[in-house]
Amino acid sequence: MNVFVLDTNKKPQNPVHPAKARLLLSEEKAAVFRQYPFTIILKEEIGVNPQALRVKIDPGSKTSGIAVTDDATGEIVFAMQLEHRGQQIKNDLESRRAIRRSRRNRKTRYRKPRFENRIRPEGWLAPSLKSRVHNIETWVNRLCRFSNIQAISMELVRFDMQKILNPEISGVEYQQGALSGYEVREYLLEKWGRTCAYCGKTNLPLEIEHILPKSKGGSNRVSNLTLACTECNQKKGNRPIDIFLSKRPELLKRIQARAKAPLKDAAAVNSTRWDLFRTLKETGLPVEIGSGGLTKFNRTIRGLSKTHWLDAACVGKSTPEKLFQTDKAVLIVKANGHGSRQMCRVNTFGFPRTKAKSRKKKVNGFQTGDIAKAIVTSGKKVGTYIGRVAVRKSGFFNIKTRETTIQGINWKYCHMLHMSDGYSYNI
């Protein structure tokens, strides 16, 4: 992962290798401008025209891959994996709705229905879906500020929901369904994590296997299909899964539960793809789209492994013949949101269980979510800690590191590294 460079006027320059960035910092020719993604700003003006770069996106339901590539050289300049919080938003909204309805039932015997003011605008998306679009939009705009992005490529994922459910569907059976999309095999590879359902082996040829064999009345519905290696497939034969795994009840229960898992991830990607495309077009940059099949083809012929960020680097026809990365680090970004507007926490019955929170977000210049470095020089907690801060009115903060949470760190020991922006970071 290269380091982004800005000139004295905060205009993007060519990204540099981390070693060169360290040299510029040690020679005091540059200063740290931003911690995540790591960006430096030069102290002297240079008249260099930066190389045009392309940002490439592989959108997903839970995790999206983003890569910045140089089409001229084939270098992957920057790579990141963006973890969405759509499911958390859905759970929070459902919890809030249950509490609200419970409160209304207790306090209002009858409430007149108000449907006329609940009209949704055209193109409306649920908040849990819209957050995925906003996350990608935020990071595309950031990368455009820190590098000379001149084009965008995105994978326009299309899952054929009806064909996933019934592979033999055709003609008028579709009615209003989409006629093109991922094949069932591609969907099963994603659903079962490219592993054999019975032995857990990876990196070997996998076959589509019927959980209830067709000779015993099984169908081709996706809920009756799984993946198995040749050895396990032959060993199972035409036996039902409950007989084949009679001595392994835990594995049997896990496979049956996973087989019946809903298609909500595929539906989420389908729902957001066009809204994301329109959002990227509004940046004013040319947007190239590519299919999932083309992404897989590009990745296969280049001999690359299956990861979100490598999928992103292989999106579209503009993918260079050779892709390489000088620094192997990949930034892992998780969306956390910007906190809650709820004045006080409530219990399961909807009654307040905490005091109303203070209107002041910041305490001594810090707010919850900031990434800070605490150098404690005295007391029982002597040491250096780097992590996410949870502020307290008393001035004694909690710092959550990778390993544990250290409580009661005086704010005077803390030094700001990265201000809260709704995301947490890891490498």
pLDDT digits (tens, 9 = 90+) for 301-354: 988 988 999 999 999 999 999 998 887 889 999 999 887 777 788 887 777 888
Which ranges of 302-404 would DSSP assign to H, the alpha helix? 308-313
CA-CA distances (angstroms) from residue 350 to 87, 96, 236? 22, 9, 52
**Cα 258 to Cα 79, 136, 211, 225, 276, distances in angstroms:** 31, 29, 12, 11, 29
Check if 4-85+125-157+283-335 and 161-262 are the same fold: no
Predicted local confidence at residue 158, as pLDDT? 61
325 vs 67 pLDDT, higher one: 67
Whether pLDDT at 291 is above 90: no
- When mean pLDDT is compared over 18-22, 187-191, 202-206, 253-257, the highest value belongs to 18-22
For residues 257-261, give the mean pLDDT: 80
As its CATH architecture, domain 4-85+125-157+283-335 has 2-Layer Sandwich (3.30)
Spell out the domain ranges in the chain: 4-85+125-157+283-335, 161-262, 371-420
Residue 162 pLDDT greater than 80, yes or no: no
113 vs 199: CA distance, rounded Å:
55
| Average predicted confidence (pLDDT) for the chain | 86
For the cut 90, the answer to whether the pLDDT of residue 98 exceeds it is no
What integer is the mean pLDDT of 367-389? 91
Q: What is the mean pLDDT of residues 412-416?
A: 93
Tens-place pLDDT, residues 167-211? 555 544 444 333 233 457 777 887 888 899 999 888 888 898 899
pLDDT reading at 131 higher than 90: yes
Looking at residue 166, what is its pLDDT?
55
pTM value is: 0.78
Peptide bond just before 12 cis, omega within 30 deg: no
pLDDT at 270 over 90: no
- Predicted confidence band at 85 (pLDDT cuts at 50, 70, 90)? very high
pLDDT of 168: 52
Whether residue 296 is predicted with pLDDT greater than 90 in this model: the reply is no
Give DSSP secondary structure letters for 373-392.
EEEE-SSTT-EEEEEEEE--
Distance between CA atoms of 283 and 154, rounded to whole angstroms?
14
Domain range 161-262, CATH class: mainly alpha
List the alpha helices (DSSP H) in 27-126.
Answer: 86-107
